Amino acid sequence: MGTLAVGRWRARVGRPGGHTESEFEFARDGTAMLVVGGKGAGTWTQTGPDTFSYRINEELTEAPGTIEIAQDAVLRGDEFVSNGNAVVRLANGTTAREAAIQITAQRLG
């Protein structure tokens, strides 16, 4: 599992059409939470000495369904940059949209 990403992170989520602010929390047991800017849970895994990946399912607020966030990150000091996709899935399982996103984050505290 590793301890590379353990902590709380303030993030800027870049997506087509703009950006949003969020906060993530990565725990020592490999769980990942979206705690500000949405609500979601998932897992994270250290993949190298300064790299990790994380997957979070965020609850949609405007309709029943989820946003599946899949990212691969590179850590440099107390910052990371991650790239991947976000897939919006409706409650019936259909894909409403998909987009490439980049997240830059700063460790808090």
* Residue 108: pLDDT over 90: yes
**33 CA to centre of own chain:** 8
* Residue 109: pLDDT over 90: no
* Residue 56: pLDDT over 90: yes
pLDDT in tens, 68-77: 999 999 999 9
Q: Is 97 exposed, middle or buried (0-12, 13-18, 19+ CB in 10 A)?
A: exposed
When pLDDT is averaged across residues 39-46 and rounded to a whole number, the result is 97
Evaluated on CA atoms 26, 27, 33, 37, the torsion sign reads negative
pLDDT given for residue 14 in this prediction: 94
Q: Which residue matches tokens 């990212």?
A: 71
pLDDT given for residue 1 in this prediction: 59
User: What separation, in Å, do the N-terminal and C-terminal C-alpha atoms of the chain show?
Assistant: 22
Cα gap 66→104, rounded to integer Å: 22
When pLDDT is averaged across residues 43-52 and rounded to a whole number, the result is 96
Q: Is the pTM of this model over 0.75?
A: yes
